[in-house]
Every structure is written in C-alpha cells, then in structure tokens.
C-alpha cells in the first residue's frame, strides 16, 4: 500500500483513497494520531489504546501492527489509534494531567468543555461515528492487576448482541464478561451510536506481559477474518468462560472491596484464586502504625482484579470477584 502523508489537514478521512494513511485528528495539544487502511467497501473497524494513560498493552500492540501490517486485498477500513489520551500517556498517568478527569467517564463529551470532554467529543463525532465495529484496549495499568477479559454491553438488540459476542470470541485467550450499560465509557458512546463494540482488559501491573500481547495479536487477527476484512480460514476458537452481569454495580470495578482508609495494602490471595464469600482477602495497614483492617470477600467466586500498587488511599478498589 502507498504511504500517504503524515497529514494534519482537516480533510474528511472517510474520503481517503485506497491505501495506508496517517491522519491527525484535532490539533497539536488536543487530539490524536490515527493510522488508516482503506480497502474495498466493507466494515469500518476502529481500535484504540490508552484511553487511560497508564495502560501500555494497547499502544504496544497497535504500534507493532502499524510497523508491520501490510494487507493485500483489504475489504473495508481499519483505523488504529495507539494512544487516544496523549496528555495522560505523556504524563504516565491514568487521567488527564490538566483537568484530572477520567476519559472513560467523559463520553460523549462536548466541544467546549474540559480538555477531556473535548477529546471524548472529538473521538466520538469524528471517528466512532463512522465505525461499524469498535475495540477499546484497556488494562490494569500501574495500580491494578487483572485476570484478562474481553467484554461488551448487552441490551442493544439480538443482532448487535450476537455480533459483539462473536467479536469477543475472537479474543479467545480471555474470559468474557457481558454487562449492562454504564454511562461515560467509550463503549457507551458506541452503544448509543449502535456500533458493535467490545473492550479488552489485560493484566496491567505496571507492565506488558508477552502472553497478553500474543493474546491481543491473535484476537485482532481473528477479528479481521471474522468481519471479512481479510481473507483466511475461520480460526478454531477456544471456549471462553462467560459471565453476564445483570446489575450494573457488579461491573463497576472501582466500587468493590474499597480500602477502608489510607495505608499499605497486604493481599492474602492471588489473582485467579477461587474464594468463598466472607473469606479474608487481605488487609490495609494504616500509616500511623495503628491496627490493620481486614478485607473480607463480598461474594464467592474468582479474583479477577487485585490491587497491585501497595500504597492505597481510602476508597481505592482492592479486589473484584466474579462467579466464573
């Protein structure tokens, strides 16, 4: 394919010719770079990383694809945005360094709000609005470690549900978590626009696991075949453990097993451990040397999230348990 640009011109990317293009959305201080492969008419697949600035798996994977992917006979359009939240990524922190806001709570955003709100609005109106399929690549970042999963929002109708389930199945190294609509997310904006959408959550724990990168890589390859963007035999997919949450609260990662006060977190259980309800999971030692406070399981199930960073503030989520 011909490498056109780099371009920061305000051209309508949907009219770009066949080939590979680099395109800047927004301006130098508020925007993001996208790599766009245009093929024959077909699906429009959008994939991004670093909605949160401390998550490195998505950016690493997508940059590898940008460096090496040279499809022939591409059907449709593929848009890769390695780093959506550039300011947060540059600052090596989860949230935007200027306004302190969480981009994953800011959608659909506004054109005249905070930097984070404007970024959400830019992505939603200029990119997501033109997609037919969407993948948002997340991870536990610097503070958390996760038993990796792929998820989506249910409730958009039988057809979209089936499409999203099939998209999620492509990431067959991960377990699958379907849940109800939660506001503010990239997937909420996709849901409102009736775009079939999934997200992935990799281990995090301050780094990038090679097996997570391999799992994402395989998932993206599978997805391109599933959507018919590239030719190839349908892959044989592994069965995924599956859980569907009915209550939105269950899928709200920041709401479970909160630290009772600031201090040092000392876990007693490992990621992926199966625990009984009321089991002791760990404790938080206060900084003033007072007695530690024990953390007990809210429910029985598998530990899918564990706090990684030992220093905690009051209210920080320490564990999430899912009945897998």
The footprint of Zn ion (CB under 5 A) covers 52, 138
State in angstroms the smallest separation of the CB of 4 from Zn ion. 32
Question: Quick one: 122 exposed, middle or buried, by C-beta within 10 A (0-12, 13-18, 19+)?
Answer: buried
3-state DSSP assignment of residue 301:
strand
State in angstroms the smallest separation of the CB of 152 from Zn ion. 15
CA–CA distance, 135 with 229 (Å, rounded to integer): 15
User: Which residue minimizes CB distance to Zn ion?
Assistant: 138
State in angstroms the smallest separation of the CB of 207 from Zn ion. 15
Nearer to Zn ion, 51 or 173 (CB): 51
- With the C-alpha atoms ordered 179, 201, 186, 167, is the resulting torsion angle positive or negative? negative
- Strands 301-307, 144-146: pairing is antiparallel
Nearer to Zn ion, 59 or 76 (CB): 59
Nearer to Zn ion, 275 or 305 (CB): 305
CA–CA distance, 150 with 211 (Å, rounded to integer): 15
Nearer to Zn ion, 138 or 147 (CB): 138
State in angstroms the smallest separation of the CB of 52 from Zn ion. 4
Nearer to Zn ion, 36 or 208 (CB): 208
State in angstroms the smallest separation of the CB of 310 from Zn ion. 20
Nearer to Zn ion, 275 or 304 (CB): 304
State in angstroms the smallest separation of the CB of 139 from Zn ion. 6
> DSSP states of 252-288 as a string?
-GGGSSB-SSSEEEEESS-TT-EE-TT-EEEEEE-TT
State in angstroms the smallest separation of the CB of 281 from Zn ion. 23
CA–CA distance, 302 with 67 (Å, rounded to integer): 38
Nearer to Zn ion, 52 or 256 (CB): 52
Structure tokens at 230: 């590239």
Residue carrying the six token digits 């900084």: 287
H/E stretch holding 164: helix 158-169
Nearest to 198 by CA among 46, 56, 302: 46
State in angstroms the smallest separation of the CB of 66 from Zn ion. 21
Nearest to 177 by CA among 238, 244, 223, 239: 244
CA–CA distance, 94 with 100 (Å, rounded to integer): 9
Whether the CB-CB separation of 149 and 200 falls below 8 Å is answered with yes
Nearer to Zn ion, 38 or 185 (CB): 185
């Amino acid at each position: 394919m011909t490498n056109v640009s780099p371009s920061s011109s305000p051209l309508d990317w949907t009219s770009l010719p066949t080939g590979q293009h680099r395109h800047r959305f927004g301006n130098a201080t508020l925007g993001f770079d996208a790599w766009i492969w245009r093929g024959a008419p077909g699906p429009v697949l959008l994939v991004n990383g670093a909605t949160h600035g401390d998550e490195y798996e998505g950016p690493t994977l997508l940059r590898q694809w940008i460096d090496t992917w040279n499809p022939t006979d591409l059907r449709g359009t593929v848009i890769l945005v390695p780093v959506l939240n550039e300011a947060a990524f540059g600052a090596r922190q989860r949230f935007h360094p200027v306004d302190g806001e969480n981009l994953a709570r800011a959608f659909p955003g506004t054109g005249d709000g905070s930097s984070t709100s404007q970024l959400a609005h830019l992505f939603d109106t200029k990119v997501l609005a033109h997609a037919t399929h969407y993948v948002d690549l997340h991870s536990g970042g610097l503070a958390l470690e996760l038993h990796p999963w792929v998820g989506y929002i249910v409730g958009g109708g039988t057809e979209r549900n089936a499409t999203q389930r099939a998209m999620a199945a492509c990431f067959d190294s991960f377990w699958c978590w379907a849940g109800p609509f939660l506001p503010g997310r990239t997937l909420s904006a996709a849901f409102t626009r009736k775009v079939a959408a999934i997200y992935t959550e990799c281990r995090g724990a301050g780094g990038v696991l090679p097996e997570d990168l391999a799992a994402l890589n395989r998932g993206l390859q599978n997805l391109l075949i599933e959507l018919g963007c590239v030719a190839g035999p349908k892959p044989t997919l592994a069965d995924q453990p599956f859980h569907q949450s009915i209550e939105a609260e269950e899928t709200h990662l920041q709401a479970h097993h909160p630290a009772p006060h600031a201090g040092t977190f000392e876990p007693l259980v490992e990621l992926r451990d199966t625990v009984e309800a009321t089991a002791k999971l760990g404790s938080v030692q206060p900084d003033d040397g007072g007695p530690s406070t024990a953390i007990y399981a809210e429910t029985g199930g598998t530990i899918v999230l564990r706090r990684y960073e030992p220093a905690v503030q009051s209210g920080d989520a320490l564990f999430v348990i899912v009945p897998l």
